[in-house]
Amino acid sequence: MRLDFNILWVEDLQQSVQAQKEKLERLIRSEGFRLKVQFAISVEEAKNYITDNVFSDHIDLILMDYNLDNGPNGDEGLKEVRRTLPYKDVIFYSAQANNLREYLKAADVSGVYLSSRDDLPDTADGVFQSLVKKVLDIDHSRGLVMGATSDIDHYVNDSLLHIFENSDAKTQQEVIKKILEKVAKIKNAFDENVEELQKINHISQLFEKHLVYTSADRLHLLRKALRLVGGYDEQDKVMLEYAEKIMPKRNDLAHIRVEIEGFSRKLLNKKGEEFTSEEMRDLRLALLEKQEAFEQIFSSLTAKAV
């Protein structure tokens, strides 16, 4: 699951819709998702991005302008979309929207939203809200959070690997030294935990003993490695905030209890406290910001190596 909302936007005058794109970006961002747009200037180009394979079709919504100077107009594009993706959500729009319903009827295409160019952001946001409500119950929200934090874990791993492989021998030795120091602490803690586990008298005591070189360990190792590289003081604050404020919530969600009442589902923590949809939205927003920060760290590291 992902925090991106992907739009295929078929529009030959892309500069003319920048204001609409920016407004839609803000609306979608406010719900904890990131708008990603793939523009196509013609029906022929749009066909390159359309597939009926459920595993490779990452388009969430298609915006189709009627007036296209590069080949067939948007009504022909609608036919192409429906041939390949019969149930994909599509918004058909034009600066002059008066005749869109007639064009749609002549094209014999159903299940399409209509909009003027000016109203396009609000129409698209309405479709977005409808799509999110269909699939984003409280339990699916947990999947989004877990997926986003997994992506961040990969950025941490890739950044560590990049730093190590592009550093001198002294820096590499320092990194290995810090790993061994942490492993020694883990070993001591593990030995202590083994002694405690040998004395347990209730199975619940076993659930507290999560002891490996965790994603949190790797995150703090990245912070130390970046200090060796230098120039990442501001990013360190972001990583620390992620470790202290986001990761504990992620860990809570990983061990959450789902309570089913009819068709509704509640997420309850170990104390029986419920995660609300508002809390999940706020967590998505925070995660999205942190995910972009980790992307920038990795991009900065790889750019320096070029």
Residue 72 belongs to domain with CATH number: 3.40.50.2300
Dihedral of alpha carbons 80, 85, 87, 89, sign: negative
Separation CA 142–CA 1 (nearest Å): 10
Boundary residue ending a domain (101, 135, 169):
135
For 260, the domain range is 138-305
Shared-domain flag, residues 71 and 151: no
Dihedral of alpha carbons 46, 52, 53, 54, sign: positive
Separation CA 269–CA 257 (nearest Å): 6
Shared-domain flag, residues 146 and 128: no
- The 3-class SS string of 78-135 reads HHHHHHHCCCCCEEEEECCHHHHHHHHHHHCCCCEEEEECCCHHHHHHHHHHHHHHHH
Q: Which two tokens stand for residue 121?
A: 């952001």
Shared-domain flag, residues 237 and 265: yes
Number of Cβ within a 10 Å radius of residue 81: 24
In this model, does residue 55 exceed pLDDT 60?
Answer: no
Separation CA 139–CA 44 (nearest Å): 39
Shared-domain flag, residues 125 and 154: no
- In this prediction the pTM is 0.66
Boundary residue ending a domain (118, 135, 152):
135
State the total domains in the chain: 2
Sheet holding 274-275, edge to edge: 257-261, 264-268, 274-275
pLDDT tens-digit series, residues 143-153: 777 778 888 88
pLDDT tens-digit series, residues 145-184: 777 888 888 889 999 999 999 999 999 999 999 999 998 9
Work out whether strand 90-94 and strand 112-116 pair parallel, antiparallel, or are unpaired: parallel
Shared-domain flag, residues 110 and 234: no
Shared-domain flag, residues 47 and 165: no
Three-state DSSP class for residue 63 = strand
Shared-domain flag, residues 119 and 221: no
Shared-domain flag, residues 161 and 251: yes
Separation CA 156–CA 233 (nearest Å): 16
Q: What is the DSSP annotation of 186-255?
A: HHHHHHHHHHHHTT--SGGGGGG---SS-HHHHHHHHHHHHHHH---HHHHHHHHHIIIIIHHHHHHHHT
Report pLDDT for 150: 80
Separation CA 237–CA 119 (nearest Å): 40
In this model, does residue 95 exceed pLDDT 60?
Answer: yes
> How many CA atoms lie within 13 Å of 6's alpha carbon, on the beta-carbon side?
11
Amino acid letter for position 231: G
Amino acid letter for position 58: H
Residues 6+ apart with CB under 8 A from 75: 66, 92, 103, 104, 106, 107, 109
Shared-domain flag, residues 107 and 226: no
Shared-domain flag, residues 179 and 90: no
Shared-domain flag, residues 295 and 161: yes
Boundary residue ending a domain (84, 109, 135):
135
Split at pLDDT 50, 70, 90, the class of 49 is confident
pLDDT tens-digit series, residues 202-247: 766 655 655 557 788 889 999 999 999 899 999 999 999 999 999 8
Shared-domain flag, residues 102 and 236: no
